[in-house]
Amino acid sequence: MDISTGEFRATRPRDIPSLMEEIRRLRPLELLLPEGVQDSFSLPDSPVKKVTVLPPRLFDNQDAQECLKRHFGTATLDGFGCSSMPEAIRAAGALLYYIRESQKTELGHVRKLSPYYADDFLVMDSSTSRNLEVTRNMRTGDKDGTLLAAIDRTRTAMGGRRLKSWLLHPLKDVKAINSRLDAVSELLEARELRASIQEAMTRVYDLERLTARLTLGAAGPRDLVSLKDSLKKVPLIKDYMRMLSSAMLSGLVDSIDEVSEASDRIEKALVDSPPFSVKDGGVIRDGYSAELDELRKIGSGGKDNIASLEASERARTGINSLKVGYNRVFGYYIEVTRANLQSVPDDYIRKQTLTNAERFITPQLKEWEEKVLTAEERSLKLEAALFIALADDVKSYSSRVLSTADAIATLDCLASFAEAAEALDYTRPDVNDSESLELEGGRHPVVEAATREFVSNDLKLDTEKRLIILTGPNMAGKSTYLRQNALIIIMAQIGSFVPAQRASIGVVDRVFTRVGASDDLSRGQSTFMVEMSETANILNNATSRSFIVLDEIGRGTSTFDGLSIAWAVVEHIHDSPDLGSRTLFATHYHELTDLSLTKERVKNYNMAVKEWNDRIIFLRKVLPGGSSRSYGIQVAKLAGVPEEVIARAKEILKNLESGELTESGMPRIAARDTRPEMKQLNLLGGSDGLHRELKRIDVERMTPLEAIAALHKLKEMVEN
């Protein structure tokens, strides 16, 4: 439950790992657990700040059902679609009870319990969402530099939350996806109309949170005015939307309620710019309450009343020096000098004696004094009472306001997609039920937004080409290429246009990524252990409809171990009848390119580079065929590694690639160039006798029999 918006959802994960993954994805601040479970509960690397333990009785199925039915005013929970989720009902009942008790309110803005199933959406685990930086970047955890930031053109807070939710829950239903795409297409074409709708939405405040504050009894005068101002924009938005015809947009028109009764009531009662708190006064509009108007008149008109009373008493008594005054000790009084005491009327009551005068009060003055002195206090109390009554009245419209908020949030997202498509040159994807994936001129939406120029690339995966081995040097763009294709799939399945010239996407059920190096010290897991755990998750859960991105599998261990694991992983994805997933596999193990010789659906591609004067130029283009070099030394040079290290690395690389021995029979990996003689120095030591014997042999004059004998002698020398 999100108390600030009234969102209340329930699900039932398949198993404990799925539950833990869902908690990581949702990132709740607080978890509720039944007593007795907390000791065995462990959730490393989670954002949960607080775990609250509740009595087990609150999770009782019968008690939970009764709690939920009382809250929603229903005889059964079948209407919410939760009948197949007994565990979720128990959890929801305990959650509702806990929040209602802790907030000391009835939570009227929580209107329904919405079940959801992970299988209804494209699944991204927390690792994939993090690697792709969908809503949070890996550096700071903020929105900057994410897919969300790149495409967000929403105008309302509700729309912004809805867009984030859509990104974390891409659709799998082809019909629903294309319904969104139809709406985006129409909004893209109706440019001026879309701009008018977005301009109107800019003045719509956060209706969900305003309603929540209202029902929780926390709304102030400015909250109600913001609600009124927002609802006043709804008729204009509806008028604009009636000009659109796509099925989804037409359906939204019917869901948008103007709730004019609430806005008119607020407008009639409250001033246009009220203070922050009703305690400050000046909240209720003049003319709304005759009693309040009278109190305000008394409070603000005291001086005029004093002057009027003073003039009338002078005329009545004939005492021209008579004065009406006030002090904090005695209140209001009539002062008469001693020379005029004989003219004081009988209804004057002595109140204070001074040296040269007497002070009096009258029943009329006392009554008026009481009114004036209490007018402000009574006015503030009356304003507070009128405001509470108004808030209670407006609260009764909460359900209708939330329905409008929901529709506007969806409209805001669709208009945002259309604006982004126009501004960023996105195209409508063809989302279908096939298992192919064809992208022409694909681009990375986040990188493109941060750079002026971006080299686009194609991708085609179908029944004949299922897995691509991608080789090439670091910094050439392999990781960007891997991620951009995954992001394009996610964008297409939330109903957005995509950064490509053409896109045909067979709907994907899960996106998996294994990229980057990270450890998990809290669980005692090394970098390689984390890498293997994520790989295991992919191999155990992917299907033929999944999209897999693997970057440098096996690099956390020895070369031969890593190569063996990488090779076996590719074979398993290709051969397993349960997998066959569309896969991009980037690697520096060039040996993996040989898999295309025996695995017919494995194809080799490489990131193109150009060599020039011992330097490399990254072309950022993906081309058919494998790469035989990684250009790591050239990249190290670009990074600023000292020149003597670069020179030595080149020398060692040459020795490794030649596979030669030194004159003393030692591996040339450790050999150095001893200029100027250009001889190799054996740094590992060796046998002088073996050295002399090798120098004595004249290979060109030896017979085959003599050569065999010499070889036999050398072998004996080595063994001895």
**Residue ranges of domains in the chain:** 1-118, 152-259+398-422, 291-392, 425-637, 687-720
- How confident is the model at residue 314, as a pLDDT? 93
Range with the poorest average pLDDT among 110-114, 402-406, 502-506, 695-699: 695-699
Identify the pLDDT of residue 192: 96
pLDDT tens digits for 289-315? 999 988 888 776 665 677 788 899 999
Q: DSSP secondary-structure letter at 5? A: T
Kindly state the average pLDDT of the residues 28-49. Answer: 79
Distance CA 245, CA 606 (A): 46
Distances (CA, A) of 582 to 121, 371, 508: 18, 83, 9
Give tens-digit pLDDT for 60-92.
999 999 999 999 888 888 888 887 788 999 999
Report the mean per-residue pLDDT for the chain.
Answer: 86
The dihedrals phi and psi of 461, each to the nearest 5 degrees, come to -130, 125
Q: Which fold has domain 425-637?
A: Rossmann fold (3.40.50)
* Fold equal for 152-259+398-422 and 291-392: yes
CA distance linking residue 467 with residue 602, whole number of Å: 5
pLDDT at position 183: 97
Mean pLDDT over 178-204 rounds to 96
Mean pLDDT, residues 170-189 taken together: 97
Dihedral sign (CA 525, 527, 529, 534) = positive
List alpha helices for 339-460, DSSP H: 363-395, 398-424, 445-450
Higher pLDDT, 428 or 141: 428
Task: Report the pLDDT value the prediction gives residue 524, as an integer from 0 to 100.
Answer: 43
Average pLDDT over residues 695-701: 80
Q: In the CATH scheme, what is the code of domain 291-392?
A: 1.10.1420.10
Alpha-carbon distance of 489 to 172, in angstroms, equals 11
Is the pLDDT at 199 greater than 80, yes or no?
yes
DSSP conformation letters of 563-587: HHHHHHHHHHHHH-TT---EEEEE-
Residues in the chain, how many?
720
Evaluate whether 53 touches 34 at the Cβ level (below 8 Å). yes
Higher pLDDT, 357 or 451: 357
In this model, does residue 637 exceed pLDDT 60? yes
Asked which of 263-272, 400-409, 610-619, 678-687 is least confident by mean pLDDT, the reply is 678-687
- Give φ, ψ of 608 to 5 degrees: -70, 140
CB 510 within 8 A of CB 543: yes
pLDDT for 684 = 36
Radius of gyration over every alpha carbon of the chain, rounded to an integer in angstroms: 40
User: Which is more confidently placed, 708 or 64?
Assistant: 64
Residue 623 has pLDDT above 60, yes or no: yes
Kind of pairing, strands 602-612 and 615-624?
A: antiparallel
Region of 629 (left: φ > 0; alpha: ψ -120 to 50; beta: rest) is beta
Instruction: Average the pLDDT over each of 286-290, 295-299, 454-458 and give the range with the smallest value.
Output: 295-299
In terms of pLDDT, which residue wins out, 396 or 686?
396
Q: Judge whether residue 688 has pLDDT over 50.
A: yes
Kind and range of the H or E element at 619?
strand 615-624
b/e burial code for range 419-432 (CB count within 10 A of at least 16 → b)? bbbbebebebbebe
| Domain spanning 1-118: CATH superfamily | MutS, connector domain (3.30.420.110)
Q: What does the block give as tokens for 549?
A: 């991105």
Q: Between residues 635 and 258, which one has the greater pLDDT?
A: 258
User: Sorting pLDDT into bands at 50, 70 and 90, what band is 225?
Assistant: very high
Say if residues 144 and 489 touch (Cβ distance below 8 Å): no
pLDDT for res 680: 42
Q: What is the pLDDT of residue 522?
A: 40
Distance CA 365, CA 332 (A): 7
Place of tokens 């939710």: 165
Instruction: Name the least confident of 153-162, 399-408, 626-635.
Output: 626-635
Q: Which helix (H) or strand (E) holds 31?
A: strand 30-34
Residue 382 is predicted with a pLDDT of 93
Tens-digit pLDDT profile for residues 529-541: 888 888 888 998 8
Q: Could you say which DSSP state residue 433 is in?
A: S
pLDDT over 60 (residue 35): yes
**Distance (Å, whole) CA 145 – CA 127:** 17
pLDDT of residue 672: 53
pLDDT in tens, 574-601: 999 888 999 999 988 888 888 998 899 9
Q: What is the pLDDT of residue 679?
A: 41
Q: What is the per-residue pLDDT for 658?
A: 63
The DSSP symbol for 501 reads: S
d(CA 418, CA 163): 13
Asked if the 152-259+398-422 domain carries CATH number 3.30.530.20, the reply is no
Q: Is the pLDDT of residue 380 over 50?
A: yes
At 671, is the pLDDT very low, low, confident or very high (cuts 50, 70, 90)?
low
The pLDDT confidence band at residue 687, using thresholds 50, 70 and 90, is low
Structure tokens at 176: 């629903």
Q: pLDDT for 314-346, tens place per residue?
A: 999 999 999 988 887 788 899 999 999 999 999
Asked if residue 529 lies in contact with residue 565, where contact means CB atoms within 8 angstroms, the answer is: no
Distance, in Å, from the CA atom of 542 to the CA atom of 124, rounded to the nearest integer, reads: 11
Comparing C-alpha atoms, which of 433, 574, 441, 443 is closest to residue 505? 433
Distances (CA, A) of 347 to 334, 337, 365, 542: 12, 17, 11, 99
| Helices 174-189 and 191-202, axial angle in degrees (round to 10) | 100
Query: Tell me: the pLDDT tens digits for 475-521?
Result: 788 899 999 999 999 999 999 999 999 999 999 999 999 886 554 43
pLDDT of residue 630: 65
- ∠ Cα 618 622 627 (to 5°): 75
Question: Is the pTM of the predicted complex or chain greater than 0.85?
Answer: no
